[in-house]
Amino acid sequence: RQITWTTDGANAGTVFLREGKHNCTNVCGTLHAGDVFGTSALMRDRERISDVVAIKPVRALAVSWRDIHQIARLYPRISSRLFENLSLVLGDLLARQEAIRPMIKDELSGVYNATYIIDLLQFAADKANRYDEELSLLSLKVACNSTKGGHANWQDKAWIISKMAQSTRAVLRKGDMVSRWKDQIYWVILPNTNATQAHMLAQRVLQHYEQSDDPVKCHTEICVYITELAPGEDGKDLIDRATRQETLSEA
CA dihedral sign of residues 117, 53, 39, 175: negative
Q: How far apart are CA 200 and CA 247, in angstroms?
A: 23
What is the pLDDT at residue 74?
A: 66
Say if residue 229 is in the same domain as residue 157.
yes
Say if residue 155 is in the same domain as residue 225.
yes
Q: What 3-state DSSP class applies to 224? A: strand
What is the pLDDT at residue 229?
A: 94
Q: How far apart are CA 108 and CA 165, in angstroms?
A: 9
Q: Tell whether pTM > 0.75.
A: no
Comparing C-alpha atoms, which of 11, 101, 103 is closest to residue 61?
11
Q: What is the pLDDT of residues 117-175, one digit of tens each?
A: 888 888 888 888 888 889 999 999 887 766 566 556 667 777 888 888 888 988 988 77
- Sorting pLDDT into bands at 50, 70 and 90, what band is 63? low
- The residue with greater pLDDT, 58 or 234, is 234
Say if residue 29 is in the same domain as residue 92.
yes
Q: How crowded is the C-beta side of 21, counted as CA atoms within 13 Å? A: 0
Instruction: Give phi and psi for 240, each to the nearest 5.
Output: -60, -45
Percent of the chain with pLDDT over 70: 52
Containing structural domain, residue 80: 2-104
Contact (CB, 8 A) for 218 and 163: no
Identify the weakest region by mean pLDDT among 18-22, 103-107, 165-169.
18-22
Say if residue 120 is in the same domain as residue 212.
yes
Burial class (CB in 10 A: 0-12, 13-18, 19+), 188: buried
Considering 41-50, 70-79, 95-104, 123-132, the range whose residues carry the highest mean pLDDT is 123-132
What is the pLDDT at residue 203?
A: 93
Say if residue 43 is in the same domain as residue 145.
no
Say if residue 88 is in the same domain as residue 117.
no
**Alpha-helix residue ranges (DSSP H) falling in the chain:** 65-74, 76-95, 101-104, 114-130, 150-171, 195-211, 235-250
The CATH number assigned to the domain holding 169 equals: 3.30.70.270
CA dihedral sign of residues 112, 92, 209, 176: positive
Average pLDDT, the chain: 71
Pairing verdict, β 25-31 and 185-191: unpaired
